[in-house]
Amino acid sequence: MDKVGARLRVLALLVLLMFAALTARLWFLQVLATNEFTSQARDNSVRFVRTDAIRGRILDANGDDIVVNQKSREIRVAMDELLASGRAEEVIYNLHLLLDRPVEEITRRLESNKYLPYQPKPIAEFVDPHVEAYIDEHPRDFPGVEVVHASVRKYPQGRTAAHILGTLGLINAEELESPRFRSYGINDLVGRGGLEQTYERWLRGEKGERKYIVNADGEVLRALGSLEPVPGNDVQLAIDLDVQRIAEEELRLGMDRARTLTDSDGFTLKASAGVVVVLDPSDGGVEAMVSVPSFDPRWNVEEPTKEQRKYLDNEQLSPQLNRATQGRFYPGSAFKVVSGLSAVKAGFATLDGYYPCTTEYVHPGDESGASFGNWKPSNSTISFGQALVESCDTWFYTFGSDFYFHWLNNQLAKDGELMQKLFREWGFGQQTGIDLPLEDVGLMANADWAEQHPDVFYRGVWQPGGNILSMIGSDYFQSTPLQLARAYMAIANRGHLCRPHLADQILSPDGEVVRRISGKCDKRLPGYTEQQLAYVHQALLGVTERGTAACAFGGFPLSQIPVGGKTGTAENGSKQDTSWFASIVGPVSDPDHVIVAMVEQGGFGSQTAAPIVRRIIERIYGLEPNPLGCLTTQED
């Protein structure tokens, strides 16, 4: 028993000693070592590293690359850190030696106001690996300087389709505060303009994230896991690169040809700018969209040179303006298909009626002696169809007066401005809804507009000339080339007012269709029959066979490939006339394309725009080009 008791006492003593040791250790950890472990906990922290997703590509209708990605080593400078170091001049000089770039260029980019104060400013792109290695090895010589591996855009097609693509830029303060950009950081890029902006949420993808335990010196102690980035989706367009290149080349060649010709006063045509739009009338897909002057989107990948920036900022040229959607122009006689059908719908004209085509027109009751002239002498009575073939201005003036009298007698009525209401049904005076930002609505003057422009209308009161000249797409009516092309598309497909669209579908990185983008052709022109639209289409065929575009299409196989179109010659103040040709190409029952060409200061429609469209059609269909005639003709 004594032995057992002794053993129990020894065991109890051991237990007491163990508890005493544990208590002492606990007291040491909680009291004596508190500061040490607090310091260690502070020095070791979890770092989250975001990894950018690969941005989706932009592809043409056949899957060919238009915009892809490339890797770039970018040097960025955090201005707050640089200035806090007190060594800004020294660092700039070190960068000058390392990059072999002028101090002035580095300073200019550091002074750029495009970025927020706390955003690192990029000063060089695509730097060599040895530059990155040198900065990493000499961090004390470059306070605030970092080398970032960025994914930037690459344009394998060069200048092709430049106006529709857009570019990328650092997110701004307003965007950072927007719920739409709640997942973005201060160094993130966002789409700026064009398709990059419209389809930002599809192209961007989802960032990945890696978690690390790091110490106070930034050394990684261990990884805690990662979430891989999700690549962005690809955007496949309705644009056909072959058609796009053809349209671009023929527009430039046509403008060059025009500069060898003269206007009606004997002055050489300037042909200063132009547009070509090619649409698929079945669903509104944009097969080509060209605007000249243009630019190289690759200039925006790196900072443009001084010469490039001077060109881009030239207000007279406005090379970055997409004239197809953002330019407003007098459409001239190319608009007569819409104004004539509007007169028919209003009940002022009938398809089987005959109305005067005279050299001069005077508004009924106007005793001022003011008259509106035709583009050529005439004294006949013709149908609507023949008025389109001959492009008789005075035929349309008559119905402009009818619309004016209707307004005069119904100013307080809901549809008092009947002419503008009918034009709006065709999509004028409003955006087409194309998937591009900053689309212009054109101009459709009315009584309210007149009141705001007393310098145009006496005492700001709407006058008969407002209706009369709007009927021929002049003076008080302007449209974008896309608006006009959309109207011709509605004639081609017998009354469906489609929403034009550049993108055709969204594809996942593995090629699966995520979303199809419809042209939304379910909207119909109200109040027009298929027979009325077919009548106009037939008249447009007569324009190329025997009308104002007959010479421009001389020798073209119209029996093989029907082309219906309308020339337009729009006066533009002190500038030379704007040349137009709007066309419907292919079988009458199921047309293939709607093609519209416009050349500023290009002279007559039959002189410049119509030959451009002809050449585009010949190349699309693989026809042998014939010599162009009538390039000096003075026809509408």
Tell me which of 9 and 566 has the higher pLDDT.
566
Residue 634 has pLDDT above 60, yes or no: no
Q: Hey, which of 87-96, 205-214, 223-232 has the most confident mean pLDDT? A: 87-96
**Among residues of the chain, what percentage have pLDDT more than 70?**
88
d(CA 221, CA 234): 38
Angstrom distance (rounded) from CA 157 to CA 610 = 27
Residue 600: enclosing H or E segment and its boundaries? strand 593-600
CA dihedral 539, 540, 543, 544 (to 10 degrees): -130
- Segment 430-446 shows an average pLDDT of 97
pLDDT in tens, 326-345: 999 999 999 999 999 999 99
Give percent above pLDDT 90 in the chain: 66
CATH assignment of 332-492, among 2.40.37.10, 3.90.1150.50, 1.10.10.10, 3.40.710.10 = 3.40.710.10
pLDDT at res. 19: 64
Break the chain into its structural domains and give their ranges. 42-69+148-237, 75-113+120-124, 332-492
Q: What is the pLDDT of residue 172?
A: 85
**Maximum average pLDDT range among 132-146, 212-226, 464-478, 512-526:** 464-478
DSSP state of 437: S
Residue 119 has pLDDT above 80, yes or no: no
The helix (run of H) or strand (run of E) holding residue 570 is strand 563-572
pLDDT reading at 496 higher than 90:
yes
> How high is the pLDDT of residue 123?
86
The pLDDT of residue 84 is: 87
Least confident of 102-116, 254-268, 299-313: 102-116
Amino acid at 356: P
418-431 burial: b if 16+ Cβ within 10 Å, else e? bbbbbbebbbbbeb
Residue 29: its pLDDT value, please? Answer: 47
Residue in 254, 252, 332, 271 with CA at minimum distance from that of residue 572? 332
| Residue 543 pLDDT exceeds 50 | yes
Distance CA 21, CA 27 (A): 10
The CATH number of domain 42-69+148-237, selected from 3.20.20.300, 1.20.58.1610, 3.30.365.10, 3.90.1310.10 = 3.90.1310.10
Read off the pLDDT of each residue in 255-270 and give the average, rounded to a whole number: 95
CB neighbourhood size of 584 (10 A):
26
Mean pLDDT taken over the chain: 90
626 vs 5, residue with greater confidence: 626
The model scores a pTM over 0.85? yes
Residue 520 has a pLDDT of 82
Range 311-323 average pLDDT: 96
Q: Are the CB atoms for 177 and 186 separated by under 8 Å?
A: no
User: pLDDT per residue over 178-226, tens digit each?
Assistant: 998 988 888 788 999 999 999 999 999 988 777 667 666 555 567 676 7
Average pLDDT over residues 504-511: 96
In this prediction, residue 214 carries a pLDDT of: 64
Alpha-carbon distance 472 to 395, whole Å? 10
**Mean pLDDT across 570-586:** 96
Burial string for 253-262 (b: 16+ CB within 10 Å, else e) reads ebbebbeebe
Go through the chain and tell me how many residues it has. Answer: 636
Average pLDDT over residues 14-40: 56
Does residue 32 have a pLDDT over 50? no
Overall average pLDDT of the 33-45 stretch: 54
